[in-house]
Amino acid sequence: MSRAQIKSQSTFTLSPPVSPAAPPVPSNDHLDRVSYLFGHPISHSLSPLLHDTIYSALDLNYAQHLYETRSLTACLALTHSPKFFGASVTMPHKVAIIPFLDMLTPEGEAIGAVNTIFWRNHPDGRRLLCGTNTDCIGIREAILQNVSKEAVSEMRGRGGMVIGGGGTCRAAVYTLKTYIGCDEVYLVNRDRSEVEQVVKECKTKGFGDGLRFVESVEEAERLLGPKVVVSAIPDIPPKSEAEIRTRNIVQTLLGKKEKGVILEMCYHPSPDTAIARIARTNEWQVIEGTEAMIWQGLEQEKVWLRKVSALPVDKVKQVIAAKLSKPSL
């Protein structure tokens, strides 16, 4: 644990006022413990299904509830309920919640965003609300669990690419630089200023060397092709000039002679995204984003349950696959 974020519990009151827009709290009377997913919008999320599958397999009377709200105050209030033991955190709270946490793990501190919060006891008796980022573990394991050791070895010292400029982009850069060992990482995004902010933050945290914004098709044509790619943008048809240029850059880089593996983080409403189709057409191995979602969720449970083995990986994969195979209503 890093001590960079230790502060007094008085940072926020134990029972902060709940915004009138906050949803009602689900009844937990029948449960022993409860976790939440904090964010907005999250109605499509598979997180509760994933975590409830784990609890059922481990014979735990636990559950995860969706708590869809933009009110961070309402979310923080729930962390003090007696049965609370942790929460998944998604947009718009991944960065905003950090000032209210007492400690960050090295991953949370480096990436500058958290997707998981939990309580720990300080040696002096205080309870510390802590944050970490398991997205980087999800991305790492999605790649390592689905490619050969030889392919992973070929990625080290070679180029990677991240498509996007949001919070997942930072986790992806951290993964490619820290875990996979990419020497250079191309950043492809419609907004140059977003990429500049990502590069600035990554350099400040010590993993920003070798990051390169690719701003034109002409530049992409001159570059060596990447070996590993993480796509972290919604599956929305490009409309603006910047979006069309970004799509053309992606097509150019994926169209290089040498192929690799791409992790398509977007899986809603379908994992068959435009980026995934471009990659398959160009004979890339495509890993669906559900893999990253599953592995980051399993890592969350290791944090919450302090259980490092015997998690029902195969069962979780079966349940998620079955859910996605059913047409949305």
Task: Please answer whether residues 143 and 172 qualify as being in contact, where contact means their C-beta atoms are separated by less than 8 angstroms.
Answer: no
| Alpha carbons within 13 A on the beta-carbon side of 135 | 30
Task: Please answer whether residues 183 and 158 qualify as being in contact, where contact means their C-beta atoms are separated by less than 8 angstroms.
Answer: yes
Strand order in the sheet with 33-39: 62-68, 33-39, 84-89, 116-121, 127-132, 103-104
Catalytic residue among 7, 83, 94, 302: 94
> 160 in helix, strand or coil?
strand
Active site residue 257: no
**Residue 165 CB coordination number (10 Å):** 23
How far from 142 is each of 31, 253, 278, 293, 298, CA to CA, in Å?
32, 22, 20, 9, 12
Cross-strand bridge partners of residue 116: 88, 132
Enumerate the active-site residues.
94
